[in-house]
Chain A
Amino acid sequence: GEDVEQSLFLSVREGDSSVINCTYTDSSSTYLYWYKQEPGAGLQLLTYIFSNMDMKQDQRLTVLLNKKDKHLSLRIADTQTGDSAIYFCAESIGQKLVFGQGTRLTINP
């Protein structure tokens, strides 16, 4: 079946890199996504990667995809207090998205 797994919590020091990991089960997923949710707000699309790519970089964000292991990661360089949020990964199943439970990123001064 379709399942997306993430660890629930991550804590990093301000200025360090954050790496949020995700595993998914459907090998036919065409696209994989990372969303950010701040308190009281909707989900904001950060970036997405096509399944035939293994890396995508966008400013401070780097997405790595290991299709063989069905593993996706999001690296945030030079983590700032404004990066505190819940991060969701998602896989596309046709037009539908299946979301993980979200990883709450906490930044320590």
Chain B
Amino acid sequence: NAGVTQTPKFQVLKTGQSMTLQCAQDMNHNSMYWYRQDPGMGLRLIYYSASEGTTDKGEVPNGYNVSRLNKREFSLRLESAAPSQTSVYFCAGGTDLTYEQYFGPGTRLTVT
């Protein structure tokens, strides 16, 4: 089992460009999550999907959109990247009963 995979690993964008971060899990989790990690700020939830077909905003959703394509895949889209979106982005899948979350390796995004 690969667990949670994310692509790409690294990305550099210019201000105003768009891109989609991909996430897939093979752990049969119903819930999936997108976080961003900035120095000294821990992890902040951007969006989550409690089950296939549903998505909800987290703490910092502005500037992002998500798609839960199927049970395995949950993508994060930046429509018009801004320097403030320079961060490390993590995707996670979560269990139903004990809410443990299992993380991917992250995407390091720089917006210039």
A→B interface (CB under 8 Å): 4, 8, 30-31, 33, 35, 41-45, 48, 50, 88, 92, 94-97, 99-102
Contact = CB atoms under 8 A, between A and B. Distances in A.
A45 B42 contact: no
Quick one: which of B40, B42, B105 has the most chain A CB within 10 A? B42
Contact of A43 (B48, B90, B99): B90
B58 to A, nearest CB: 7
Interface residues of B, number: 23
Interface of B: 4, 31, 33, 40-43, 45, 48, 50, 58, 90, 92, 94, 98-106
A42 B90 contact: yes
A30 B103 contact: no
A42 B104 contact: yes
